[in-house]
Structure formats: C-alpha cells, structure tokens
C-alpha cells in the first residue's frame, strides 16, 4: 500500500515525501497501462468477438485508470490520522469475522443453488462489503483497499478453503471499489458512490471467479455468472453497505470520522 507515502506528501511539503508520492503515482500509471494491455490482448484472443471487445476493454481500462489516478492525486484531505487508520483496521477485522461466517454459510447455500450454478454469483456480495463500507466510513484514498485487505487477511488467518489466495482476492476486490470512488474524485459518498463501488468490486470478483473456478464454462454462462456477481455487488455490497454506513452514522459511532461529521443529529 503506497497510501502513506502519498498522504505524507500532502501533509508535509518535504521533498523526499513528495518525491515518493510522484514515484507511487508513476508506478500506478505504469501498472494501469500494463493491465490494460494484458486485458486487451487477453480479450482479443477470444475467437468469437475478441476483435471488437479487445480494444474496447483495453481502452476502457486505460480511461478508467487515468480518471482514477486523477481522483487519487486530487483527493481532498488525503492524509490519514491515527483514528482513521485504527478505525479502518478494526472495521476490517470485524468484517473479516463476517466473511468467516459467510465462508461457512457459503457451501450449503451454494449447494442449494446447484440446479442453476451461475446464479451462485448472487451471494458473493457479502465478501465485497469491506471495500464499500470501508470507503464510505473512512472517506480516505485507499480506505476501500485497506479495509477489504484486512478483512481478507483475517478471514484467511482464521482458516478458510482458499488460503493466501484470499489476500489477493481482497486486494483486487478492494481495488475494484477504490477505482470507482477515485473516479468520483473522492467527493461522492452517497448511494450512487456505494452502488458504483459495489459494481466495481462485483466486476472484479466476476472476472476472478470465472478465470479461477469456471474456466470451462461457455461464454454465455460466464456472462451470467459475472452479471449475477455485479447484481450482488449492487444490492448486497452497494445498497447494503450504504444502508449500513448510514445506520452506523446515526448511532454516533462515526463521530470522530469524516463520515460522522455531517450525520450528527441534534
């Protein structure tokens, strides 16, 4: 996580910290280009409609990545205070426990859906809550990634069926949500941002799952799986996470944070 090097760049006008911020941005930009090229080539290799979809996916990734980087660099109040970091970490741990409960509940639920497997994607939304809730509650660049990764690490350390892979899933799911919040320039924290972040995370998990677990499905079934993952991201992670954050703010628990400040009721 390059978050601190970047946040310290904005708080202190020191040359080393600023240089670290510039380097981090350059690395991120390079990563965007590499991912865009890989996706372009990967999708273009599909014999059916790759010649159209390949460039489309590649250019979309580039544009999204560029917009997200702009959001990242221009975010207001970028530096993290101690209370932001600790609340995000504990929130991640709590959500990691929720993930663990869901890891156990997943098998019977998905077995019940055996008659039409691609619909299983409808249940992944719970694992995407970290990114949305983290982003909305802490309201700092990197919060979605940090909370989701901590939650994934807790879920993996307690012991699940996926091991270290959970950590990478967490990182990428968090990034999916983070990119959308960054494109919104870290200034939108309402239902729209929540749903957008849920979509971002849903797309990521749809792509990951179809690559890792269902590579031998037909393109149609893969699309159904991806779509149900996105729907789950919208409903459970997006709207659910938004409602959760609002309810949290109402209790006053978020008072020390940016998200609690304008939710105070007299």
Report the 10 Å Cβ neighbour count for 104. 11
What is the chain's length?
266
For 226, left (φ over 0), alpha (ψ -120 to 50), or beta? alpha
> Are 147 and 133 spatial neighbours (Cβ–Cβ below 8 Å)?
yes
Q: What is residue 56's three-state secondary structure? A: helix
In the complex, least distance from residue 139 CB atom to another protein, rounded to whole angstroms = 14
CB count in 10 Å sphere of residue 230: 23
- CA 176/CA 202 separation, integer angstroms: 8
- Rg value, the chain, Cα: 19
User: Taking Cα atoms as reference points, which of 194, 186, 207 lies closest to residue 131?
Assistant: 194
Closer residue to another protein (CB): 75 or 150: 150
**Residues 72, 153: Cα–Cα separation, whole Å:** 25
- Is residue 129 within 8 Å of residue 197, measured between CB atoms? no
- Comparing CA positions, the residue from 257, 232, 263, 202 lying closest to residue 91 is 257
Among the listed residues 6, 4, 3, 1, the one whose alpha carbon sits nearest the alpha carbon of residue 22: 6
């Amino acid at each position: 996580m390059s978050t601190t090097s970047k946040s310290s760049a904005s708080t202190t006008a020191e040359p080393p910290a600023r240089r670290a911020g510039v380097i981090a941005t350059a690395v991120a930009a390079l990563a965007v280009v590499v991912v865009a090229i890989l996706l372009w080539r990967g999708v273009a290799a599909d014999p059916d409609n790759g010649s159209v979809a390949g460039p489309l996916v590649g250019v979309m990734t580039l544009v999204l990545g560029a917009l997200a980087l702009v959001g990242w660099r221009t975010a207001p109040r970028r530096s993290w205070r101690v209370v932001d970091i600790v609340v995000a970490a504990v929130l991640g741990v709590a959500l990691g426990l929720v993930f663990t409960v869901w890891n156990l509940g997943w098998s019977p639920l998905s077995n019940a859906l055996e008659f039409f497997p691609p619909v299983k994607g409808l249940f992944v939304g719970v694992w995407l809550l970290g990114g949305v809730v983290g982003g909305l509650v802490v309201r700092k660049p990197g919060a979605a990634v940090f909370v989701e990764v901590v939650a994934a690490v807790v879920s993996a350390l307690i012991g699940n069926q996926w091991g270290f892979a959970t950590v990478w899933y967490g990182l990428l799911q968090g990034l999916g949500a983070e990119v959308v919040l960054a494109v919104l320039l870290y200034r939108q924290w309402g239902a729209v941002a929540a749903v957008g972040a849920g979509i971002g995370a849903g797309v990521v998990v749809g792509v990951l799952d179809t690559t890792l677990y269902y590579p031998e499905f037909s393109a149609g079934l893969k699309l159904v799986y991806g779509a149900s993952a996105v729907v789950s991201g919208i409903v459970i992670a997006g709207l659910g996470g938004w409602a959760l954050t609002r309810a949290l703010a109402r209790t006053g628990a978020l008072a020390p944070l940016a998200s609690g400040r304008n939710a105070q009721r007299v």
